[in-house]
Structure 1
Amino acid sequence: MPLVDIRDLKVAFDGVQVLHGIDLTIEKGEAVGLVGESGCGKSVTWLAALGLLPKKAAISGHVMLGKDDLVIASQRHLESIRGRRIAMIFQDPSSSLNPVIRVGRQIEEAVRLHRGLTGQAARAEARRLLELVEMPDAGRRLDNYPHEFSGGQNQRAMIAMALAGNPDLLIADEPTTALDATIQAQILDLLARLRAETGMAVVFISHDLGAVSEICERVCVMYAGRIVEQCPTAALFRSPRHPYTRGLFGAIPRLDGGRERLTPVEGTVPQPGMLPKGCAFSPRCGHITDECLTSPPVLSKLEGHRAVACFHPVSDEASAHSSKKSAKVRSELELI
């Protein structure tokens, strides 16, 4: 049984569909990357799974955590799961930490809620968690306010709070976006080490394919509220098969050679409620046929634990030939 099994998850706001049937499993201890442009539904998928969307959101489908279906679970039951079994860290820690409460108090609150510790025991555990995330001078920093921390230190504090309940799954939603390249690399190394030491699974939501390649074993590419490709990370970098995935690689600059013109994915992600009748990517795709304009393709299994939602996936040979740079492409994180 997988740790989390998402089946046909759909989300609509005021009758406008934003997720169109997400199927995704997370195994115990694995690291899965979720990539795609802004507006593809990456964060909404997990906010829906944890019951964190506003009441106007209409959610259907199933999110199975063991035998619990989180879609139909009561708020009280969800509160017992958030932080304890599934924890989430966000891309902007400054908006998640209370600016007028000392960081140590905030971590102690998480420890009290999830572990029942109080007083000196809670403070000692808060210090241990800060030391676990490699916070310099952790004992003294407990009494600092968030504005006295750097962006990277605030993110470490958020990770410490997320670890307070010893979760089985940590969802990292763009945790390195607002950080410089050096601090990004440190946070990625930290997440990889914590996963190895604790055995927790990690879902890493990011725009950065280089960062995803650093810590994820499997990647799911999302577009317009659907998963359009998923496969092991090495296979994705070797030969992306969906035209959108190939477009993402084509838009990444190389740092290991001379200058070359990038190949951007023309256009933008369509707005919810304004999707084309067929494949949502068809207006931006250079390989469309009449079939692509009539109905959306379903996610279909290919060889090597790969699945692609495309009527005409790029052949493995053609993809490997045209994506030589994708095997070499890495973000600045990998060159530090």
Structure 2
Amino acid sequence: MSFVKMRDLRVAFDGTQVLHGIDLDVAKGEAVGLVGESGCGKSVTWLAALGLLPGKARVTGSVTLEGQELCGASRAALERVRGGRIAMIFQDPSSSLNPVVRVGRQITEALRIHRALEGDTARNEAIRLMDMVGIPDARGRFNTYPHEFSGGQCQRLMIAMALAGEPDLLIADEPTTALDATIQAQILDLLGTVRDETGMAMVFISHDLGAVSHICERICVMYAGRIVEEGPVQLLFDDPHHPYTRGLFDAIPRLDGGRGRLVPIHGTVPDPKNLPQGCTFSPRCPRATGFCRDNLPLLNPQPDGRQLSCIHPVPVYGQRPQVLDCRGSAAA
């Protein structure tokens, strides 16, 4: 049974659609990776789910948490969910930690709000969390300020704050982007360890396929506000079918081959105000045909267990997938 269930989630800013009907399930204890280039809608998907988008955003569709509807829920209802049942780690810890408040106080505040802990009980729990995420001399550094920590340690503090509410689901929004390779590996190992110890589910948002493979069981590939391919990590790594997914893998440096040129994906993610009328990837796709440019493929289940949104996948299937023509009608 799905713990979180999204159905036809759509987001528009000032009349411009940026998410186009996201369907996504997350099971209890599962780790799901959400990947794609910047601007594909990865972060917007979960900010919309938690009601964290600005007021000008128009959000429609359904996001349920064990049957509780979050889309359109009251502020009070969302505040009971955010930080408690669902916590989020943001990309840049330096902008998320208050620079003029000691880190211990910031963690104990989260404990007070989400678990009603006070005084020495809250202090001891905050120190335990700091120690759990690998902060050296946690007790001695309880009363220090964020600027006295390295970038990697600040990210660890953000993880400690996220864990303070004992969430059922942790959303990690590119938590390793600003860190060097060694610290990235440490943070990934930490997230994996925490998940093993707590049993919480995780959504890992990243453009780094290597990081996603390290920590997730399932990958959802997003492009221009849509999921274009979804399936188990090993399946997509061994045999990506969508040309965009294949392009992402081809652009990764390899350690097991010769010194060859990387194969880039030509072009850029389209402007949401000026999307192609058919497949949104068709202007950049080496396999696109006139049919692709006129018809929008739907996300269809495949025989091997993945879901795919492509008219001419790699390799080509014998059966053409269901598509929508440029008028939104089913194409033959």
Q: Same fold by TM (over 0.5)?
A: yes
Q: Secondary structure at the match of 1:138?
A: coil
> What is aligned with 1:228?
228
Distance 2:121 2:115 in 1: 11
Deviation of 1:255 (Å): 2.3
Distance 1:99 1:113 in 2: 20
Say how many residue pairs are matched: 317
Distance 2:55 2:33 in 1: 28
> What is aligned with 1:321?
none
Distance 2:57 2:192 in 1: 34
Distance 1:227 1:261 in 2: 28
Deviation of 1:257 (Å): 3.5
Contact 1:34 1:204 in 2 (8 A): yes
Deviation of 1:295 (Å): 2.4
Q: Secondary structure at the match of 1:110?
A: helix
Distance 1:103 1:303 in 2: 50
> What is aligned with 1:333?
none
Match for 1:184: what amino acid? Q
Deviation of 1:304 (Å): 2.4
Segments of 4+ moved more than 2 angstroms: 255-258
Distance 1:222 1:71 in 2: 21
After TM superposition, list the pairs within 5 Å mapping 1:249-268 onto structure 2.
249-268=249-268
Match for 1:142: what amino acid? F
> What is aligned with 1:300?
300
> What is aligned with 1:45?
45
* 1:114-148 deviation digits (Å, cap 9, x = unpaired): 00011111111100111111211111111110000
Contact 1:239 1:316 in 2 (8 A): no
Match for 2:50: what amino acid? L
Relative to total residues, which structure has the larger helix share, 1 or 2?
1
After TM superposition, list the pairs within 5 Å mapping 1:52-131 onto structure 2.
52-131=52-131
* 1:17-63 deviation digits (Å, cap 9, x = unpaired): 00000000000001000000000000000000000000000000000
Mind listing any 5+ residue stretches in structure 2 that lack a counterpart?
318-332
Distance 2:308 2:84 in 1: 34
Query: C-alpha root-mean-square deviation of aligned residues, in Å?
Result: 1.0
Identity in percent: 69
Distance 1:188 1:81 in 2: 25
* 1:247-286 deviation digits (Å, cap 9, x = unpaired): 0011111123431011100000001111000000000001
Distance 1:36 1:67 in 2: 29
After TM superposition, list the pairs within 5 Å mapping 1:316-331 onto structure 2.
none
TM-score, structure 2 normalization: 0.94
Match for 2:217: what amino acid? E
Mind listing any 5+ residue stretches in structure 1 that lack a counterpart?
318-336
> What is aligned with 2:158?
158
Distance 2:307 2:258 in 1: 34
